[in-house]
């Protein structure tokens, strides 16, 4: 037995033990999935989305609609700090980006939460989503924006004009030199009306981004 075999055997054993103690669960329904990221029934029945939407001049797409198990999974991530689904979400988003935006972006970035929210929550869910979708591409997401105002959450505002007004001017560019002339893939968890994504894209373009396309884990059906 070579060292490599020993190593592989150890890794397999550890992997097996991890699976035994922390069995992988489907992030959408909680079913035990073995080695798969997603259970078979969710693979079949989730509200898959093949829509591409335009908000102003910004293109937005998502692998899923924000409904049922998807809504619960996003809530679990954001409000219950359940990060176990991140590799699944990242893979679904990476696949979606490869299918719909192939060759159209040079770098990946995300819509940040405010410093206050970050302190309270302890993590930035969109940054984690961006990092997860970048894993297989062997790149790191680029930090391009900070949220300087802790505005009321968009989820509490129904009116489209009010949603746009609520996010106007709340994002500021960081690292402008790092993305000047680059085409950016902008990541967020949910797209409702696209007001937030649209404002971020506006700020990024005015700071020198060559183009911005947006990808979210999920989007609200008919959310305009």
- Note the residues at the interface with Zn ion (CB under 5 A): 26, 28-29, 31, 39, 42
Q: How far apart are CA 209 and CA 206, in angstroms?
A: 7
Q: Which residue's CB is nearer to Zn ion, number 39 or number 131?
A: 39
Q: Which residue's CB is nearer to Zn ion, number 71 or number 202?
A: 71
What is the torsion angle, in degrees rounded to the nearest 10, for the CA atoms of residue 119, residue 122, residue 125 and residue 127? 80
Shortest Å, Cβ 111 to Zn ion: 27
Q: Enter the tokens of residue 178.
A: 């790092």
Q: How far apart are CA 130 and CA 110, in angstroms?
A: 6
Shortest Å, Cβ 30 to Zn ion: 7
Angle at which helix 125-134 crosses helix 68-80, to 10 degrees, equals: 110
Shortest Å, Cβ 8 to Zn ion: 30
Q: Which residue's CB is nearer to Zn ion, number 42 or number 92?
A: 42
CB 75 within 8 A of CB 153: no
Shortest Å, Cβ 26 to Zn ion: 3
Q: Which residue's CB is nearer to Zn ion, number 26 or number 157?
A: 26
């Amino acid at each position: 037995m070579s060292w490599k075999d020993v190593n592989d055997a150890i890794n397999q054993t550890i992997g097996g033990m991890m699976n035994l103690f922390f069995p992988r669960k489907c992030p959408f329904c909680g079913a035990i999935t073995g080695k798969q990221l997603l259970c078979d029934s969710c693979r079949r029945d989730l509200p898959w989305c093949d829509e591409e939407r335009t908000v102003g001049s910004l293109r937005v797409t998502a692998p899923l609609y924000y409904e049922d198990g998807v809504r619960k999974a996003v809530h679990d991530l954001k409000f219950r700090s359940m990060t176990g689904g991140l590799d699944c979400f990242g893979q679904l988003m990476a696949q979606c980006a490869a299918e719909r935006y192939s060759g159209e972006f040079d770098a990946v970035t995300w819509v940040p939460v405010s410093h206050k929210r970050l302190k309270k929550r302890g993590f930035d869910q969109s940054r984690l989503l961006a990092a997860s979708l970048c894993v297989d591409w062997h790149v790191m997401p680029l930090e391009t924006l900070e949220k300087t105002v802790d505005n009321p959450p968009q989820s509490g505002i129904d009116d489209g004009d009010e949603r746009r007004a609520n996010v106007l001017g709340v994002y500021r560019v960081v690292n402008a030199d790092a993305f000047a002339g680059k085409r950016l893939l902008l990541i967020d968890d949910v797209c409702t009306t696209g007001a937030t994504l649209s404002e971020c894209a506006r700020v990024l373009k005015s700071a020198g981004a060559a183009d911005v396309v947006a990808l979210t884990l999920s989007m609200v059906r008919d959310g305009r």
